[in-house]
Amino acid sequence: MACSEQEIGYTKGDLCVTIPPLRSSVLSAAEHVGPRQLIFKDLSTVLPSFEALKGTGFVPSAIDDSLILSDVTFPELPADILVAQANFVQGGCILATNFNHCCLDGIGVMVALQVWAESCRYVQGDLTATCSWFDPESFNHSLPEIIYEREGYSRPVEEVDPGVWGFLPFVPPDDYPHPILNDTYTLHHTDERKLPPPPPLPLRTKWPLDPHPDRMKTTQFLISSGSLRELQDEVMADPEAKGVITSVSDIVQAFFWRSAIRARYQVATQLRGESFGPDDMSILELPVDGRPYFSSLLPSTYMGSMLVMNRATMPVETLCSPHTSIGKIAFVLREAAARITPSLIHDAFTILQSLPDHSRFSTANMGLDHMHAMISNLMLFQTDVISFGDGIFGDGGSPLAMRPLIDRGNARFRFLVIFPMRADGGVELVFGTRPEELEMFRTDEEFTRYAKLVDTC
Q: Average per-residue pLDDT in the chain? A: 90
Mean pLDDT of 302-331: 96
CA gap 238, 23 in Å, rounded: 63
Element housing 330 (H / E): helix 326-337
278: CB partners within 8 A, 6+ apart? 315, 317
| pLDDT for res 176 | 66
Half-sphere exposure (CA, 13 Å, Cβ side) for 95?
Answer: 16
Domain pair 22-100 / 211-340+359-456, same fold = yes
Helix then strand then coil, in percent of the chain rounded to 5, is 35, 15, 50
Confidence of residue 181 (pLDDT cuts 50, 70, 90): very low
| pLDDT for res 119 | 96
Give every strand in the sheet of 92-99, ordered side by side: 38-42, 82-89, 92-99
| pLDDT for res 207 | 73
CA gap 135, 291 in Å, rounded: 14
Confidence of residue 355 (pLDDT cuts 50, 70, 90): confident
Contact 377, 425 (CB under 8 A): no
- The model carries a pTM of 0.91
Which letter does DSSP use for residue 237 in this model?
T
Confidence of residue 189 (pLDDT cuts 50, 70, 90): very low
112 has pLDDT over 50: yes
178 has pLDDT over 90: no
> Interhelix angle for 225-236 vs 248-266, to 10°?
90
Residue-range domain boundaries for the chain = 22-100, 211-340+359-456
SS3 168: coil
Could you tell me which CATH number the domain at 22-100 has?
3.30.559.10
DSSP string for 365-425: TBSSSSS-EEEEE-TT--GGG----TTTSSGGG--S-----GGGGTTTB-EEEEPPPPTTS
| pLDDT for res 23 | 63
| pLDDT for res 319 | 98
| pLDDT for res 224 | 97
Backbone angles phi, psi at 40, to 5 degrees: -135, 150
CA gap 299, 292 in Å, rounded: 9
131: CB partners within 8 A, 6+ apart? 115, 118, 119
Confidence of residue 147 (pLDDT cuts 50, 70, 90): very high
| pLDDT for res 183 | 42
Of the two residues 11 and 51, the one the predictor is more confident about is: 51
Which letter does DSSP use for residue 328 in this model?
H
Confidence of residue 194 (pLDDT cuts 50, 70, 90): confident
| pLDDT for res 33 | 59
pLDDT in tens, 46-66: 999 999 999 999 999 999 999
179 has pLDDT over 70: no
342 has pLDDT over 50: yes
Give every strand in the sheet of 373-377, ordered side by side: 307-315, 281-289, 373-377, 415-418, 427-433, 217-223, 451-456
| pLDDT for res 208 | 76
| pLDDT for res 425 | 95
Return the closest-CA partner of residue 346 out of 429, 290, 287. 290
Lowest-pLDDT choice from 24-38, 44-58, 172-186, 439-453: 172-186
Helices (H), 151-300: 225-236, 248-266, 291-294
Return the closest-CA partner of residue 77 out of 207, 171, 169. 207
| pLDDT for res 165 | 93
CA gap 324, 215 in Å, rounded: 30
CA gap 257, 319 in Å, rounded: 9
CA gap 402, 425 in Å, rounded: 16
31 has pLDDT over 60: no
Could you tell me which CATH number the domain at 211-340+359-456 has?
3.30.559.10
pLDDT in tens, 373-421: 999 999 999 999 999 999 889 999 999 999 998 888 899 999 999 999 9
27 has pLDDT over 90: no
Element housing 84 (H / E): strand 82-89
Of the two residues 98 and 176, the one the predictor is more confident about is: 98
Contact 61, 457 (CB under 8 A): yes
